[in-house]
Every structure is written in structure tokens, then in C-alpha cells.
Chains A and B, each alone.
Chain A
Amino acid sequence: MVIKNIDQKTVVAKFALNGYNVHPDAVRLILSSNLNVDRVVEEVCRRCNGSFIITPDEVSQVLKELERRIRSEEAEKPSKVEPRVETGGRAEIRVLKDVTGKSTCRGTVEDFVAYFNSRFEKIAGILRNRVKAIPISSLTKIRAETVEVIGFADNVRELSEEKAVFEVEDKTGRVRVYAEGKVKEQAMELFGDEVVGVVGRLRGRSIIADRIVFPEVPMNGKSKAKRDFSMVFISDIHFGSDTFLKEEWERFVRWINCESGNERMDSLAETVKYIFVAGDVVDGVGIYPDQDKELEILDIYGQYEFAAEQFDKIRKDVKIILSPGNHDAVRQAEPQPALPKEFSSLFSSNVIHVGNPVWVDVEGVKVLMYHGRSLDDIISRIPRLSYEAPQNAMLELLKRRHLAPLYGERSPIAPEKEDYLVIDDIPDIIHSGHVHTYGTAFYRGVFVVNSSTWQSQTEFQKKVNLNPMPGNVAVYQPGGNVYRLRFYSS
């Protein structure tokens, strides 16, 4: 990504940081090139070891070489995969972003460095429109009233009722930030792995924060046109578990097939064109210790066969978009690819297998589907959140523009070169599951839904005081109403 709003001063400062003077023509050359400034500066400094002033000649040489190198790098990359287009009837589904088939992760240190740099770059890019950030390492050289920085905010500590301190890290360094009053309250909800902007005053080597700027989804003023179809959101079916609610599920299938016997219900069902399934389709094997004692179907193939059989009972003009969760037979680290062929091929053709997370465009409606592993971490971190209202935890994801803003806790990360968990593309709908409770909300024009489960309370949930709300189904008519259907009566 090319950073546009970089000026001469910044370039000069960048060189100064490395202990170099630079000729003004050289600066112009760099700015006029289409290359990443940091990369150029780094390369130039490496080359010109010891020279007093950096000349345009030296720069142009480096530029040429870099361009050549980048061209060859791009050639190595496979050509951009065209979005998969699934058409059938009037339905039109385009998968916009999905890791499936594109995983680069090899599990090296470099992968982790690249991963977090990608997260930083992507979110910093969003923030740069709102924060005029300078590199943290140049803070010591700057004499300004207010300063603005962008970076990972971590190490939050409460100093007193009124005061908290945290640190911000960008590529050039770290700075301590003090937060008081209202800003302190904001700071206390920082998770430690999200990228934010800080606006404040320099005090010694630290910043006194006036404002913490979250990347946030912008206010989405324009109201979308009402569409003539509905979408159904479900997740966490856990086929194969001995606590799977078979009867309730069958009632749901009857409804979707317009066979509920209730006229109003049936007419609503008729409008349904898409079903989104946000993971944990089956209970899986070996997900937790001694799971075999709580399984009805011990065989993983058996579980998916049963799942496919069940989905097959749904009328075929309904498209089912299915992404995996932590119980499914794919890697647990996120982003997760779609189910492998041996399982996906069991399903009928109206089931579309995608990864987790996934951005899908359905007739112009953008849906972000994410299983929701990080919700556990978020709910246990912020005391005001609870499992009873999972949608509120999902708002925190939108606010941070990241699906797993806590690293090192329960959400496992696969260090891909690109961070697929950044919400760089703002969806119209965000759909999660995982926590087995139900909740919907509208947030800045985005429809937020967490879609409960088809499994009754497990032994484990009983122990940790988690009360699931099974059999709750959200039906949403884009631009129109949300209906909550209950297929479970306790």
C-alpha cells in the first residue's frame, strides 16, 4: 500500500532518524516514486553506509532496483484469484474475501512479524484519515503542542481511580501514554492487540492523551433499499453431539420448507433465499478431553454425513452459505479455510462452503460471517459485557475493525501474511455464533446478529454457569425487518 499523504519533511525526518542528511532532489525522487517510503529509506540507508549526504544518484539507483525486485515479487504471486461467483436461479453470491486456498502460513517468526505488520498497516490505513500520525521515534525531536500517533495499544495498567497508563507501539518505537478521566475509561477497555490512534500532549517522554481514536465503522447514513428476500442466520448446530436438539431442528426444517402449518410463518419462510451458517456444524472429534463420552456419532465422517443429510431436507432453492467453527474439521487457528473436499463433497450443491471469516456479497448485500471465537475473550475482559447479550460484544469488534483483537488468549491465530481478521471492508451484516446465545442489534447501519445454537446445555456449560438459548433463529429482510423465531421451548 502506498502512503499518499507523506511530505518532504517526513522523508527528511526519516533519514535523520537513521543519522543521514539527504539532498532535496533525492527526496523529490522518492516521493515521486510509487514505492513504500519506509522500504526505500531502509534500503537507501543500508546501501549508503557512511556517506555524509544522500545524493539523488544513489536514490535513483536504489529505486530502480527496488522496482525491479517488486515486479519480480509480484510475478511470483499467483494472479489475483477472481472472486468465486455462484449463480443459480436468481440468486447471486460472490465470495469477496476468504483465506481458503490462499494460506501462506508456515509458522515462522517472520510469519508472525508479517502478520502483525499487516494488521498494523491495514488499521493504520483506516485511521490515517482521522489521525495525522507521526512516527513514535520522532516524538523526541518534535516540538509541538499536540501530537498524534497510531499504533498497537497495550500494557494497560490502572494507576488510580482517575488515571491509567498504557503504551503505544508503531514500527519505529514505543511511547507511554497517560489517560485520565473519560479517556481513562476508554483506555481500560483496550485489549492490548488493537491498533488505535492517540491524540494528546507531549509531556517529557510520555503523552497525556486527550483522545483515543478507534478505527470504528463510519456512520452509515444512507438507508439501503428494502429487498424482496430474507436471509436466515443460524450457527452451532453440533450435529453428532448427544445434546443436539433433533426435534427443534426438524421443526426448523419444516418451517423453512413452508410446512409449519402456520400461515404467517409459512409466508415468511417463502421469502427466505439464503441461510447463513456461522460454524460448528458438527460437534467434531477430540475438541475437548473425553468428548467421546458426549457424542452420539463418534465418527467425523458420520457426523458430516448426518449434517449433509439434514441440509438435504431443506428446499433446494435456498442457498446455504456454510463456514466452519472451532468444532469443525479444519484447523482451529483463524482465519480458517473452508471444509476440505472429503467433507464438503458430501453436501448437496446448494450448500456453498466458505472459510471463517468470510465476506460474501449476496445480491449487493455484503455479509461478514465470523464464527466468534474471540467473543469469549472479549466478554471475560470487559465486565459490562455478558453472554446474555452477545451482540454487544460484537460491537467491540466493529469498533476496533478487527475480529480477534486479543492475542495470546483463547483465540488462536494463524500468522498469514495478510491479516484476514481486519474488518477493512465494512459489511452490511455481521454474523457470529460460538457463544450459544442469541442477540441482534443495528450499529451504525450494520446489522449485527449472533445466532444461538441447536444444542442444549452441556455438562461443561452447566459448570461454568453458561445458559445457552438454543433454537433461536434470526430472519432478516435486508433494508427491512428482523424476525426472531423460537423453535425451542424450555
Chain B
Amino acid sequence: MIVTLDRFFPIFDDDEKAENELEARLYEELRRYHDSLLKEVERHYEIAEKARKLGLDPKPYVEIPIARNMAERVEKLLGIEGIAGKIIEYESQGMSRVEICFKIAEDIVTGKFGEFEKEEAIDKAIRTAVAIQTEGVVAAPIEGIAKVKLYRDKDGEFIKIYYAGPIRSAGGTAQVMSVLVADYVRQILKIDRYKPTEEEVLRYCEEIPLYKKVANLQYLPSDEEIRLIVENCPVCIDGEPTEDAEVSGYRNLPRVETNRVRGGMALVIAEGIALKAPKLKKIVDKVKISGWEWLDRLINKGGDESGEKDEESEKKEAVKPKDKYLSDIVAGRPVFSHPSRKGGFRLRYGRARNSGFATIGLHPATMVIAGEFIAIGTQLKVERPGKAGSVVPVTSIEGPTVRLRNGDVVRIGSYEEALRLKDAVERIIDMGEILVNFGDFLENNHPLIPASYCYEWWVQEVEGKIPEGDYRKIGEEEALKLCDDYGVPLHPDHTYLWHDVSANDLRYLRDRIVETGKVEGKYGKSALVMKMDWRAKEVLESLLVEHKVRDGQIVIERWRVLVRCLGLDEDLKVVRDDKESEDGLEFVRKVSGLDVRAKAPSRIGARMGRPEKSKERMMSPAPHMLFPLGEAGGKTRDLKKAIEYTKSYNSVKGEIEVDLPVRVCRSCGKESFYLRCECGELTEQVYICPKCGIRTGEVCERCGGEASAYRRWTINVRELYLKALENLGEREPNGALKGVIGLTSKKKFAERIEKGVLRAKNRVYVFKDGTIRYDMTDIPITHFRPAEIGVSVEKLKELGYEVDYEGRELKDENQIVELKPQDVILSKAAGEYLLRVSKFIDDLLVKFYGLEPFYNAEKPEDLIGQLVIGLAPHTSAGVLGRIIGFADVNGGYAHPYFHAAKRRNCDGDEDCVMLLMDGLLNFSREFLPDKRGGQMDAPLVLTVILDPKEVDGEVHNMDVCERYPLEFYEGTLRCAHPKEFVGVIERVEDRLGDERKYFGLRFTHDTENIALGVKSSAYKTLKSMQDKVKHQMELARKIRAVDEHDVAERVITSHFLPDIIGNLRAFSRQEFRCVNCNEKYRRIPLSGKCRRCGGSLTLTVHEGSITKYLNLSKELAETYNVSNYTRQRIKLIEVETLSLFESELKRQIKIDEFF
């Protein structure tokens, strides 16, 4: 396929005028950027087409088509001719996505795209709706709906949709759209509605909670909600069985085909209709579909019954501690703060150049102090606003405050300082600030909670009131002077956490200072020295006042603001007192006469989710090629073993029996399993009927049964291997050369062994679809410094970057540059792996296809400027990306648009990149597994130019302004809803109308270096579970905001005990496995030997897997204050394991031996 620019839409409207010179320049830069991407892609395709034409692959052409936009992706995904044109037509008429879904569905059932059977038309209409709703990116429309059926019984006809597991990837909104569109076409076609029987309703009520138990659901609707949905939904939501679990109550119902749990059904009802009822209601109202009035009842069920809430109670609701994020806690992944606890993460609003879009900004020092469990890219589960986010380093926020073993309290301000002090830390008094952007609150529909008093806020308050100047870092005296001279609030750097202590505590502290304190060295450097007093010290710690402990004295170097706030003068005499206040902050405001603000009114609880990742994708065992070796390759599927294999005593070495396609040469008529026959001509696929044994079409001519595209071949892999080496002119690669046991694709098309040889030589591994993948945690970035990603200014200029983000000529590698939407910054390890991949591709081009090398890369930096495909699991559309640099982190930095195009946010998920040329040369649909979900995670189409309008809408809520206005900060104090600030704080959505969506984005916080911080979480570097738990508990004891007893209890009850019990139950009903051939036995054969190969059998659940956590649980229960109930559970389990794994007779004999 040759792509030319003119086949694309004009990306820009020429009549649009840029507002200023900078925009004009960026606009021009972007046009050239898109142009160069297209040209490069075109060059790739030309070469790949040439290679594929040789017929050495399953198809003689490149199998990743280019889709220019959503409409084309939909058409290519579903294969309905003409649908793209229609979608574009409706789009140009200004119809919304939702409206288009219904319109297109109507067009399909009314025959605008050809005559279909009623059932087929409904099927296509529903799938199209889901596809449009998901931008044609995810696999849900093809994989998530198993089938649609017009179900007839004696009472008439109704529509049944059979959902499958992959419907999950569609998300709630697209799921409900499928139901709604089905009802819409039902009404057009005048089909009766579904009327469930009482038993069917109860079946749903039993099955959905059961699914929640065996799999997981975000939201479990109550029985009443399920009943309401099932009784009123006019189409039947059915599903394929996805779990092994069976319902036990309502079985063998005539209209429900299975007793097993139907995951797709449960998802659509629970996470679709029940959870998205308000959204559904909006759509219903807009499109005006009748019969959905019952949604109101569903919506009201979930909400508060009391109706109108006053502002005060709403505010309380907004800041109420939530401990949901602590459930399902995993051992070894620490809790960093309990919900809204003093000492936890202090909320600061803002978006750094490397944050936003479901991320969590932390100071690199916090990462270090948190036992190095938090690394860049590590997922944190948080109390609010969302559920989780990836951690990114932000140096322009505050780090943690700790008490050292010598009693000193230090605010750690830098990564280096943290590294220096980390071993001396005795207690973590405060975790530091957490940076969350406004967009994340809006996206999660979470009320704003009071903001920390921070510089961004202060500076807007004092603007115009104080002389111009740089007030970012000011001394105590200046801070007090500003207050006194201009009546402005106290600078946030000098604001302590007064609200965390009581007025009485402050009076106590003041009295101690008055009684025992004195200021030493008044001129020049001075310090307040007071007698050591534990209670006073504790108050100082709670306030986060830095101090030292020397010779039984507390030494406070920054004392002026402190004493002023306590109502003392510089001679430590009481100037003003207040006997009434109870609250510490109130007291301070009264006695100091200063406008002191709340420094940390909102704390956010967090625990570690999954660790960050940057690793090559390996199947297990990891093959070098998709070539079947059967059992001949041994357990490692090694070709080198297979070539020595003899089936029986006198068979030929290397001769193996495997399933491969049946193809026949057009010219010489010889059978082959490859596309090209030995004679040079192409072969054609033929089919063999397994029953009649005749060669036939896809459907058997004789019996009408399904014919098979493959048969059992006897092939000599020794010969094939030697031939491959000869073809390549290569020597045997070192180490194993792994194939697969058998192919799972429909026709069982195999790769050429040559590809395996070259992959093994270059130490790269193939994925199920023929491509080579590299996985990384998604992290966002909108602006970068050339220096931090290892790219030179010259190279950047070559790549089309001419100015920095403020429009200045790019000269210095420390200038901040705005990232172009499709440029990616990979991890260093990714660079090294992709370098090997590039060498493999070059080898392949030269030695296998006989073409010129393409990459010629010698070091990772040589790959800068090369194109990659980004692809997320559950999706079927790749996104074109360009490498512009590498950062030493375990994650992939890319523009939020790029992540959104893959339908990802940055909440801790990972996805992959592959080299574009690898995809074009090696990907084939023929390799994809022939099973539900097989089409997922494969680049079925490629989006070349990314349009922010057509990416996951979540990113449209990301804010892109330079600062949040004063009214925003004030709004947070009354827990305003973030919707109030839509239109006030600029977001991506506000830019979608014109080309400014591509450039000119801003950020509120800078950071020194996007790679500054812990690189690899301690969770990964600590190897044994014992160590992980030990460090986790050590950290729990250190952090003030963490209750270590609760952590121990939760680790035991939500991880260890379920694990032990699960294994214990599994033990006494287990299967057995042959150590030689891996054959499984439900019940052990009487002979105790494998029936197939005579090998010895082994347990699949061992004593070790049961007891591994038992001792750890016991230790935890002994050390920490764990509930009696939990202790007893552990004890009973121990008794049970003893009873199972220790013979009582043996024990008796042992005792006897003593006498």
C-alpha cells in the first residue's frame, strides 16, 4: 500500500488565521511535522511491500492498513463497505457521536448498506454503534459481542445480545450504547420486547454477585437494581459463559443456555447500565427513545434519599475520609498514608509538564524516603480524586519532613539530600506534597477539596499589593515584613501546620519557650535554644518546624515566624494572649496579628498499586519464532532439540509430526504449508473435510460440515533448519532457538524458520502476532528539556523542533520545548532492546529478503527519529509514534494525546511499542489465535496522524493553562464542584475547535528533570516476599500517617489468608501433572504413573504453596496488634496444615523413640 499525502484530508483549513507570530510559527512547524511523518511512513511501506511481495510471509502484501480517521477505522474493523463515507457525511452535518451511532444503525437495518437478514442487520447495527463509540480502536465491537440472536419461543420474538469477556474494553458508555441501539432498531423493526420470567430475574440476581466473587466488578448493583434493569430492559442481555463457576440456584432455565457464569452479561448490567445510568439517561433524553423512563428510578436508588443537600453537608461529604483504596491490599506493597491522616500527602493543585491525565506528582525526595518503594511510573492507589495514578517526579513541590535518629527534624528539599539522610530516618512526620491537576478532579467528578496554601495562591493574592520582585524563596524577616508593611497573608514557605494542633498545645509550647528558651547569637546567624521537652518537641514536629537536638536542648534556627505566631516578641516576651480559642490556627491568627492560612487542610491517603514496568514482551516460554515443534522440542520448545528428535527407534532424525496448513501450488500442484512453493509459484489454501476426508472448500461439499484448513504433516525440521541457515548464510545461533508447541491460529500458518534464526541471533523474542514488543508503564509529558532525554539541539532541529515553548530560538539543551503529539521518549532499556530489534530487521532485510538494510543503527541514539507503533492491550489499532529520545526511567513518556489515542490514561497501566518496520514486515492476521479475544492486542489498523478530537475523551479534561486563578483556590475552600471552573481553567476541550489543539499547551509546575527520582521500586528489587513484607512493615512503623497494626491486619486478611485458604482447598481436590510431558490428570491414575509417557506424576498444589505465607502471617500476628478473630483464623489454619502434612502415626513413633 502506497500512501500519499493527498489521500488524506487536508489537516488544516487554510483560511484559518493564526492569532500571533508564535502560533503561526508553531502552526507551520506542525504542518511540516505531519508531512514528515507521512513521508516516512510512505518510505517504510514501499520497502515493506517490496519485501512482502517475495511471498515469504503468509500474505504477499503488508497486513497493517492505514486508517486516516475514526470512520475508516470503524469500516476496516467491521468490514462494512461504505460506512466510513456515511459517518464522515454525518459528522460534517454537525451530528454528535451518539447521534451518528443511532443514525448509522437505522441506515443499516433499513438497508442503506445492502440487504441483510433481520438478525444480521441488528448484529451489524449494534457492533457499529460500539465501534463508533470506541473510536474504532478497541476490539470490543468484534470480540465483545459474541452474537446477536432473534430468539423465538411460543410467546413471540425478542432480541438477545450475547456479550463476551472483551466487552470490558469498550467501557461502560459504549456498553450501554449497544443496548440502547439494539432497542432503537428493535422499535424500528417492530420486534417484541424481552419479558423475563421470575426465575430469569432471580438468575441474574444470583449470577452477577457470583461474577463479582470469581472475577471482579467495579460496582455491584443491589438485587433491587438488578431486578429493575432486567425487568425493564427491552432487549435480553445474555452472554457467553466466561467463568468455570456455575450458579447453584437457578439452573437449567429453558431460555438461558448455560449454567456457567456469563461475564460479559454481568459487566454490561453492573458496570454498564447500573453504573452509567445518569449518562444513559442523558442519551435517552437526547435521542428520545421511549420505554426507558425507569432509568429515573435507577438513578435515584443510587443517590441520597434525603434529596437536596445543603452546602455544609456536601462539603463534609467531599472531605470525608475514604478507605476504599485500602481494600484488596497486597503484601509487600506498602501503605503510604491512611485516609486523610495527619502526616499524609498534602494536596497541591497543579499540572507539571510531566503530569496530568491520572498521574500523581511527588517530590523525588518523597520517593526515596518512602523506602524507595515509589519509583517513577509506580502506580499508587489513592483516596481521591480518582482511584489510581502513575507517579511522576515534580521538584517544584515540597518534599517530606522527617525526624532523624538524633532527634533532628528536617524538611528534605532535594533528591540528593534524601539519599544522604535516608538511612538516618527514624520517623516520617510528613510525606510531602502530592500534585494533582484540576482536570483529574473534573474527570472523576470529585468535588474540589480545600487547597494547601501555596505559592501560586499567595502570589495572586499579593499581586499589586507588594512591590514587584521574585518572592519564590524569601527569608523569615522579609516574610514578616511583607505582612506588616502591606497586610498580606504570611508567605506559604513560612506557614506551619497550625491547624493540626490544639490551641492548648500551642500555649504549652509558648510557655516552654518563654520559660526555658533564649535567642543566641542575635546578630548575624541566630537560633532559638530551649530546654528539651518531649511534649513541646512533639508540637514542633506536628507543626513541621525544623529543629535540632543538641546537648539536651532544642535548637530552632528559623524561629522568628514561630515566636511571632505564638504571640511573642523577639525577646520571647508574651505580646498578646488568647485564652478562648481551641483551634491552633485560630489561636495563631489572634495572637500574631498575621493573616496565617491553613497550610495542609487536605491530606490524601495512598498505597502502592502495581510496580512500574519497562520490559520486553515475552510469552512463556518465550519463542523466537511461530513455528510448531510439538513435543519434539522438549519443554523449552527448542529447535535444536527437535532436530535431534527421533520418534521411534528407526525413524529419521528430526522428523516430527505437526499441524500445518494445506496449500497447493498453482503451477506444479505440489502441497505446501507456505505461501510460496519450492517451484517459485504461489500456493493456494485448500480445505480438507475431517469427516469425509476429501479436499473441498471451506464448507464440505459432501457433508456440509466445516472443513479444516490444516492437516497433520510429517516434516523434517533438521532439513528445514539447515536449509534456513544456508539461505541466510548464517551459522547456528548461540543458545536455544525456540519455537512453539503448536499454532493456535485458525489455519496454523507458520513463520519461516529463517526469522527464528535471526531473532535468536539478535536475542529478541516474538509475540503471538509475529511482532516484537516492548512494554512500558504509560507516563505523560507535554514539555521536555533536550538535555534530559539525551538528544542534541542539532538532532532536534533536524526533527523539526525550532523553538522552545515560549517561541525562543532553540539553542540550549536546557530550554523547555513543547513535545509534538506523536513523539515518544522511551526508557533506556527500551532503546537497547529496540536496537537489537533494528539489527534483526536489518538482518532480515539483507539476508532473508535480499534488500538494503534499513536502520543501520549502532547505538540506541541512532534510533532517534525512527518510527514506532504504539499499541495497548484490548485494542486493535496501533498509533504511529516517533522516537525523540530516551530517559532513564522504567516507563514510557509520551504526549497525553498519544496515550489517549491508544485509549489509555496514565493510571498505572502499561502498553507496548514496536518498530514500524517490524510490524509491516512480520505482522500477520494469519498468526492470531482462533479464540475469543484473539484479535485483541494486535495492530489490525494503524492511525498515522493523531487527531486529538478522535482520542479517548478523558484527555479532553486535562487542563493546559499556566496557572489556576485565585477564584479557583478560593472555590476549593467551599468544596466547589469542578464543573464551576469549566471554561475558566483552560482544558484540551477548549482547544479542539482549531489547530491550537496541537500546540501551545502550558503547565503550572516545572520539574528539574523528568528522570530524577527512584528508578526501580523496592518491591521489584527485594526478591523474597519475606523481605518485601519486612520492609513494608518497617516503613509502616516509620510513617506517622500509617497505622502499622491496621496494615498487618489487612495484609493478613486480604492477601495471606485468602491465598492460604485457596491453596489449602485446592490441595485436597487437586489435579496431577506429569513431570515429563505435562499431561494433566484430574484424579491420579492408580498406577501412579503418567498414562501417556510413563513419567512420574507430581502435585500441582504443594505443601510449600500453602505454608509459604503461613509463617509470615504468624510473625505479623505476633508482632502487631492484630484482631483476635484474625489470630484465631491463622491458628485454625495452622492446625489444619499440620493435620494434612504430618502423619500422626509418625509423630507418635517419634515420641516413643525418646523412651
What distance in Å separates the Cβ of B454 from its nearest Cβ neighbour in chain A?
Answer: 42
Chain B residues with Cβ below 8 Å from A169 are 1085-1086
A109, A174, A330: the one contacting B1088 at CB < 8 Å is: A109
Q: Are the C-beta atoms of B1088 and A299 separated by less than 8 Å?
A: no
Is B1136 part of the binding interface, using a Cβ–Cβ cutoff of 8 Å? yes
Is B933 part of the binding interface, using a Cβ–Cβ cutoff of 8 Å? no
> Which residues of A424-476 are within 8 A (CB) of B?
463-466
- Stretch with Cβ within 8 A of A (4 or more), from B141-149, B242-250, B262-270, B456-464: B242-250
How distant is the Cα of A479 from the Cα of B249 in the complex, in angstroms?
38
Known contacts: A78-B1145, A286-B1057. The answer to whether A299 contacts B1124 by CB under 8 A is: yes
Q: Are the C-beta atoms of B1058 and A289 separated by less than 8 Å?
A: yes
Most buried by B among A108, A171, A286, A292: A286
Q: Are the C-beta atoms of A109 and B1069 separated by less than 8 Å?
A: no
Chain B residues with Cβ below 8 Å from A109 are 1072, 1084, 1088, 1096-1099
Is B1144 part of the binding interface, using a Cβ–Cβ cutoff of 8 Å? yes
The 8 A CB mask of A69-98 against B (1 = contact, 0 = none) is 000000011100000000000000000000
What distance in Å separates the Cβ of A241 from its nearest Cβ neighbour in chain B?
Answer: 14
Is B1087 part of the binding interface, using a Cβ–Cβ cutoff of 8 Å? yes
Interface of A is mostly: loop
> Which residues of A100-125 are within 8 A (CB) of B?
101-110, 112-113, 116-117, 120
Is B387 part of the binding interface, using a Cβ–Cβ cutoff of 8 Å? no
What distance in Å separates the Cβ of B746 from its nearest Cβ neighbour in chain A?
Answer: 25
Is B24 part of the binding interface, using a Cβ–Cβ cutoff of 8 Å? no
How distant is the Cα of A415 from the Cα of B1086 in the complex, in angstroms?
13
Chain B residues with Cβ below 8 Å from A113 are 1084, 1086, 1088
A285, A408, A463: the one contacting B1129 at CB < 8 Å is: A285
Is B1143 part of the binding interface, using a Cβ–Cβ cutoff of 8 Å? yes
Chain B residues with Cβ below 8 Å from A410 are 1069
How distant is the Cα of A413 from the Cα of B1149 in the complex, in angstroms?
25
Name the CB-closest residue of B to A172.
Answer: B1087
What distance in Å separates the Cβ of A154 from its nearest Cβ neighbour in chain B?
Answer: 7
Q: Are the C-beta atoms of A337 and B1068 separated by less than 8 Å?
A: no
Q: Are the C-beta atoms of A412 and B1065 separated by less than 8 Å?
A: yes
Q: Are the C-beta atoms of A408 and B1071 separated by less than 8 Å?
A: yes
Is B1128 part of the binding interface, using a Cβ–Cβ cutoff of 8 Å? yes
How distant is the Cα of A289 from the Cα of B1065 in the complex, in angstroms?
14
Q: Are the C-beta atoms of B1135 and A333 separated by less than 8 Å?
A: no
What distance in Å separates the Cβ of A330 from its nearest Cβ neighbour in chain B?
Answer: 7
What distance in Å separates the Cβ of B875 from its nearest Cβ neighbour in chain A?
Answer: 34
Q: Are the C-beta atoms of B1143 and A105 separated by less than 8 Å?
A: yes
What distance in Å separates the Cβ of B845 from its nearest Cβ neighbour in chain A?
Answer: 52
Chain A residues with Cβ below 8 Å from B1129 are 285-286
Q: Are the C-beta atoms of B1083 and A286 separated by less than 8 Å?
A: no
> Which residues of A38-77 are within 8 A (CB) of B?
76-77
Q: Are the C-beta atoms of B1072 and A463 separated by less than 8 Å?
A: no
> Which residues of A232-282 are within 8 A (CB) of B?
none
Chain B residues with Cβ below 8 Å from A106 are 1141-1143, 1146
Q: Are the C-beta atoms of A286 and B1145 separated by less than 8 Å?
A: no
Q: Are the C-beta atoms of A170 and B1141 separated by less than 8 Å?
A: no
How distant is the Cα of A284 from the Cα of B1124 in the complex, in angstroms?
13
- Stretch with Cβ within 8 A of A (4 or more), from B202-210, B649-657, B855-863: B202-210
Q: Are the C-beta atoms of B1140 and A333 separated by less than 8 Å?
A: yes
Chain B residues with Cβ below 8 Å from A176 are none
Q: Are the C-beta atoms of B1128 and A300 separated by less than 8 Å?
A: yes
Chain B residues with Cβ below 8 Å from A131 are none
What distance in Å separates the Cβ of A117 from its nearest Cβ neighbour in chain B?
Answer: 6
> Which residues of A279-298 are within 8 A (CB) of B?
284-286, 289, 292, 298
The 8 A CB mask of A317-340 against B (1 = contact, 0 = none) is 000000000000111110001001
What distance in Å separates the Cβ of B1087 from its nearest Cβ neighbour in chain A?
Answer: 6
How distant is the Cα of A411 from the Cα of B1065 in the complex, in angstroms?
9
Chain A residues with Cβ below 8 Å from B249 are 463-466
Q: Are the C-beta atoms of A332 and B1065 separated by less than 8 Å?
A: yes
How distant is the Cα of A247 from the Cα of B1099 in the complex, in angstroms?
48
Chain B residues with Cβ below 8 Å from A292 are 1125
Q: Are the C-beta atoms of B1144 and A116 separated by less than 8 Å?
A: no
Q: Are the C-beta atoms of B1099 and A408 separated by less than 8 Å?
A: no
What distance in Å separates the Cβ of B902 from its nearest Cβ neighbour in chain A?
Answer: 36
What distance in Å separates the Cβ of A112 from its nearest Cβ neighbour in chain B?
Answer: 5
Q: Are the C-beta atoms of A463 and B1083 separated by less than 8 Å?
A: no
B1072, B1086, B1140: the one contacting A171 at CB < 8 Å is: B1086
Chain B residues with Cβ below 8 Å from A466 are 248-249
How distant is the Cα of A407 from the Cα of B1129 in the complex, in angstroms?
26
Is B1082 part of the binding interface, using a Cβ–Cβ cutoff of 8 Å? yes
Q: Are the C-beta atoms of A465 and B1148 separated by less than 8 Å?
A: no
Is A214 part of the binding interface, using a Cβ–Cβ cutoff of 8 Å? no
How distant is the Cα of A284 from the Cα of B1058 in the complex, in angstroms?
16
Known contacts: A169-B1086, A193-B1083, A286-B1129. The answer to whether A103 contacts B248 by CB under 8 A is: no
How distant is the Cα of A413 from the Cα of B1084 in the complex, in angstroms?
13
Q: Are the C-beta atoms of A107 and B1067 separated by less than 8 Å?
A: yes
Q: Are the C-beta atoms of B1069 and A407 separated by less than 8 Å?
A: yes
Is B478 part of the binding interface, using a Cβ–Cβ cutoff of 8 Å? no
Most buried by B among A76, A105, A152, A466: A105
Of the A-B pairs whose beta carbons lie under 8 Å apart in the complex, a sample of 21, sorted by A's number, is A102-B1145, A104-B1144, A107-B1103, A109-B1072, A112-B1072, A113-B1086, A152-B1086, A154-B1083, A192-B1082, A286-B1129, A292-B1125, A333-B1136, A340-B1135, A380-B251, A383-B252, A407-B1082, A408-B1069, A412-B1068, A415-B1068, A463-B205, A465-B250
- Write the residues of chain B forming the contact surface with A, with a CB cutoff of 8 angstroms: 202, 205-206, 209, 246-252, 1057-1058, 1061, 1064-1065, 1067-1072, 1082-1088, 1091, 1096-1099, 1103, 1124-1125, 1128-1129, 1132-1133, 1135-1136, 1139-1146, 1148-1149
Known A286-B1125, A465-B206; 12 more pairs at CB < 8 Å: A101-B1144, A102-B1144, A103-B1145, A104-B1144, A112-B1099, A169-B1086, A170-B1086, A174-B1091, A380-B246, A408-B1082, A413-B1069, A415-B1068
